Amino acid sequence: MDQLGLREYSWDSVPLRSQSLYTLKSTYAQASVSDLQWLHGLSQFARAGYLQISIVVASFLVVVRYLLHRPYFKVSSPEGNFHAISWPFELSSQLLRASSLAFMIVAAVQGGGRWTDAIALAYAFVVGVLRLAYDLEWRHVALHHTNFVLAGSLLILAVGELLPYIDADHTENAGPMMICSISTLAAAVFVALITRREWIPPSLDLDISDKIPTREPSPEETCSWLEYYVTYEWLTPLMLRGMRRQMTLEELPRLPWYDEPFVLLRRVEEARRKGTSTMWTLLYFLPSEITTMGCWIALSFIFEMIAPYAMYELLRYLSDPEGSRFRPWVWLTLLFIGPLSRSVCFQQYIFTSTRLLVRVRAALTQELYYKAMGSMELNDETFAEVAATDKEKEKNKQATNSTGRLANLMGADVDSIARGRDIVLVCCGVSSGSIVALIGLYKLLGWTALVGIATMLVLSPIPVLIARRMVGIQRDMKRIQDSRISVITEYLASIRAIKYFSWEDAIIKRVSEIRLSEQKKIWALNMLYVSLNQITEAIPNLSLVLIFSLQVLVRKEPLTAEVAFTAITLIRTLRRNLAMASNMSRGFTAAGVSLKRLDRYFNATTPIQSHPVGQLRISNATFRRHQKASFALKDISIDFVEGGLNVVTGQSGSGKTTLLMSILGETLIEGGGKITCPEDIAYASQSPWLQNETIRENIIFNSPFEQARYDRVINACGLPIDLDEFPERDSTEVGENGASLSGGQKSRVALARALYSKASVILLDDVFSALDSKTSALLWEEAFCGDLLKGRTVVLVTQLPWIAPQADLSVTLENGSIKDIRQNIGIVRRSVTLNKTLVDDGNVDETVEAAANHAVESNVTTANGSSNGDFKTAEDKRRDEVTQEALKTGPTARLQFFQYMRLFGNPFYAVLAITMSILSTASFVGTGLWIAVWVDAYGKDDAYDIGYYLGIYAAWSIADVVFSGLTYIAYENGGWYAARSLHTTFIKAVLSVPLSWYKTTPIGRVVNRFSRDMDSIDTQLAGMLRLCLEMLTRLGLQILAVGSVLPIFMLPAAACCAAGIVAGELYTRTAVAVKRLVSSSQSPLFAHFADSLAGLPVIRARANMAQIFGNQLADKLRVFEKASEAQFNCNRWVALKVDMMTTLVTVAAGIIAVSKAGLVAAGLVGFSLTNATTLSQLIIMLVRAGNELEIELQSFHRVREYASVQPEEKSDEYKDVTEYSDNPESESVVPKNWPRTGEVEFRNVTIKYDLDGPEILKDINLKFAAGERVAVVGRTGSGKSTLVLSLLRFTNVVSGQILFDGVDITMFPRRRLREALTIIPQEAVLFNGDVRSNLDPTGKIPTETLEKALQYCSGIASFQFHQNADHVQNGNGQANGINGTHSDEPSSDIGINLSTPVKPKGENFSHGQRQVLSLCRALVRGSKLMLLDEATASMDYETDQGIQEVLRKELEEHGRDRTLVTIAHRLKTIIDYDRVVVMSAGSVLEVGSPKELYDAKGPFYDMMKHSGEFEDLEKILDTKV
pLDDT tens figures, 1090-1128: 788 888 888 888 888 888 888 888 888 888 888 888 888
Most confident of 570-579, 594-603, 1078-1087, 1407-1416: 594-603
Element (H or E) spanning 1425, and its range?
Answer: strand 1425-1429
pLDDT at position 1297 over 60 = yes
Write the pLDDT tens digit of every residue in 644-675: 889 998 887 788 888 888 888 888 888 778 88
- pLDDT surpasses 70 at 844: no
Q: Where is mean pLDDT largest: 172-181, 840-849, 1378-1387?
A: 172-181
Q: What is the pLDDT of residue 33?
A: 45
Instruction: Specify the pLDDT at position 1071.
Output: 78
Length of the chain measured in residues: 1521
Mean pLDDT of 1415-1430: 81
**pTM across the whole model:** 0.69
The residue with greater pLDDT, 1270 or 837, is 1270
| Confidence (pLDDT) at 323 | 66
Instruction: Give every CB contact of residue 286 below 8 A, 6+ residues apart in sequence.
Output: 356, 359, 360
Q: Which residues contact 1422 (CB under 8 A, 6 or more apart)?
A: 1345, 1454
pLDDT of residue 1379: 30
CB contact at 8 A, 47 and 160: yes
Output the pLDDT for position 52: 84
Mean pLDDT, residues 886-912: 68
Average pLDDT over residues 535-556: 79
- What residues contact 1401, with CB distance under 8 A and at least 6 apart? 401, 490, 1325, 1326
Task: Write the DSSP string, 1464-1487.
Answer: -S-HHHHTTSSEEEEEETTEEEEE
> What's the mean pLDDT in 487-499?
84
If one compares 828 and 61, the residue with the highest pLDDT of the two is 61
d(CA 759, CA 459): 70
**Res 396 pLDDT > 50:** no
Q: How far is CA 940 from the centre of its chain?
A: 62
Dihedral (Cα; 247, 250, 256, 257), 10-degree rounding: 150
Q: 934 phi and psi, to 5 degrees?
A: -60, -45
The answer to whether the CB of 475 falls within 8 A of the CB of 1307 is no
SS3 1024: helix
The answer, yes or no, to whether residue 682 has pLDDT greater than 60, is yes
For 1242, phi then psi, to 5°, come to -105, 125
Q: Give the residue among 458, 453, 459 at the shortest CA–CA distance from 440.
A: 453
Of 454-468, 694-708, 1421-1435, least confident by mean pLDDT is 1421-1435
| DSSP state for residue 71 in the 8-state scheme | -
Least confident of 236-240, 1215-1219, 1235-1239: 1215-1219
Predicted local confidence at residue 296, as pLDDT: 92
What beta strand segments (E) does 1367-1424 contain?
A: 1397-1398
How high does pLDDT run on average in the chain? 76
CB of 885 within 8 A of CB of 1083? yes
Task: Give the tens place of pLDDT for each residue, 812-827.
Answer: 888 888 888 888 877 7
CA dihedral 296, 302, 306, 312 (to 10 degrees): 160
How high is the pLDDT of residue 969?
Answer: 86
Q: Please give the Cα distance from 998 to 734 (Å, whole number).
A: 12
- 821: part of which helix (H) or strand (E)? strand 817-823
- Among 159-168, 1214-1223, 1373-1382, where is mean pLDDT lowest? 1373-1382
pLDDT number for residue 1208: 76
Q: What is the DSSP letter of 684?
A: E
The 3-state DSSP class for residue 717 equals coil
| Residue 1269: strand, helix, or coil | strand
b/e 1130-1158 (16+ beta carbons within 10 angstroms → b) = bbbbbbbbbbbbbbbbbbbbbebbbeebe
pLDDT at 29 over 60: no
Check residue 370 and give left, alpha or beta (phi > 0: left; psi -120 to 50: alpha): alpha
In the structure, what pLDDT confidence band is assigned to residue 295 with cuts at 50, 70 and 90?
very high
According to DSSP, the β-strands at 632-639 and 617-624 are antiparallel
In this prediction, residue 835 has a pLDDT band, given cuts at 50, 70 and 90, of very low
Taking residues 990-1005, report their average pLDDT: 80
Alpha-carbon distance of 563 to 409, in angstroms, equals: 52
Residue 684, beta-bridge partner list: 764
Report d(CA 1078, CA 832) in Å as an integer. 56
Q: What is the mean pLDDT of residues 744-770?
A: 86
* pLDDT score recorded for residue 840: 40
- In this prediction, residues 1068-1086 reach a mean pLDDT of 79
Nearest CA among 1273, 1259, 1260, 1295 for reference residue 1461: 1273
Rounded to a whole number of angstroms, the CA Rg of the chain reads: 39
- From residue 395, how far is each of 384, 390, 630, 662, 1026 by CA, in Å? 11, 10, 22, 33, 39
**Contacting residues for 1067 by C-beta, under 8 A, at least 6 apart:** 239, 1130, 1131, 1133, 1134, 1183, 1187
Q: What is the pLDDT of residue 1142?
A: 74
Confirm if 1297 and 1240 have CB atoms less than 8 A apart. Answer: no
Q: What is the structure's pLDDT at 975?
A: 86
Whether residue 1128 contacts residue 1067, with contact meaning beta carbons closer than 8 Å, is answered with no
CB 1147 within 8 A of CB 336: yes
- Taking alpha carbons only, the member of 1341, 1394, 1348, 1338 closest to residue 1370 is 1394
> Do the Cβ atoms of 199 and 221 come closer than 8 Å?
yes
Mean pLDDT lowest for which of 17-21, 765-769, 889-893? 17-21
Q: How confident is the model over 613-629, as pLDDT tens digits?
A: 888 888 888 888 877 77
**Residue 35 pLDDT:** 59
Q: Do the beta carbons of residue 995 and residue 497 sit within 8 Å?
A: no
Q: Which residues, 6+ apart, have CB-to-CB distance to 1236 below 8 Å?
A: 1301, 1424, 1457
Point out the least confidently predicted range of 1171-1180, 1211-1220, 1417-1426: 1211-1220
Residue, of 172 and 965, whose pLDDT is higher: 965
pLDDT per position as a tens digit, 1012-1039: 788 888 888 888 888 888 888 888 887 7
Q: What is the pLDDT of residue 203?
A: 60
Query: Which has more confidence, 37 or 113?
Result: 37
Tell me which of 935 and 1515 has the higher pLDDT. 1515
Contact 1136, 1183 (CB under 8 A): no
Longest dimension (CA), the chain: 131
- Please give the full DSSP string across 1298-1328, using - where no structure is assigned: EEETTEEGGGS-HHHHHHHEEEE-SS----S
Please indicate whether residue 1238 or residue 183 has the higher confidence score (pLDDT).
183
Torsion angle of alpha carbons 1300, 1306, 1307, 1311, nearest 10°? 80
End-to-end Cα separation, the chain, in angstroms: 113
CA distance 280 to 1030: 39
Mean pLDDT, rounded, for 895-912 = 77
Centre a 10 Å sphere on the Cβ of residue 5 and count the other Cβ atoms it contains: 16
User: 466: pLDDT confidence band, cut at 50, 70 and 90?
Assistant: confident
Given pLDDT bands bounded at 50, 70 and 90, which one contains residue 1007? confident
Strands (E) across 1265-1394 are located at 1269-1274, 1292-1300, 1303-1304, 1317-1320, 1329-1330
| Residue 1214, pLDDT score | 53
Give the integer Cα–Cα distance in Å for 1314 and 1423. Answer: 10
Q: Annotate 617-650 with b (16+ C-beta within 10 A) or e (fewer).
A: bbeebbbbbbeebbbbbbebebebbbebbbbbbb
pLDDT (0 to 100) of residue 17: 29
3-state secondary structure 784-820: HCCCCCCCCEEEEECCCCCCHHHCCEEEEEECCEEEE
Q: At 1471, is the pLDDT very low, low, confident or very high (cuts 50, 70, 90)?
A: confident
Angstrom distance (rounded) from CA 532 to CA 529: 5
Decide if 1499 contacts 1505 (C-beta within 8 A): no
d(CA 1240, CA 1228) in angstroms, rounded, equals: 20
160 and 50 Cβ atoms separated by less than 8 Å:
no
User: What value does the mean pLDDT take over residues 1221-1230?
Assistant: 45
Mean pLDDT (whole number) for 1316-1333: 81
3-state secondary structure of 1241: strand
Q: Exposed, middle or buried, 1381 (CB in 10 Å: 0-12/13-18/19+)? A: exposed
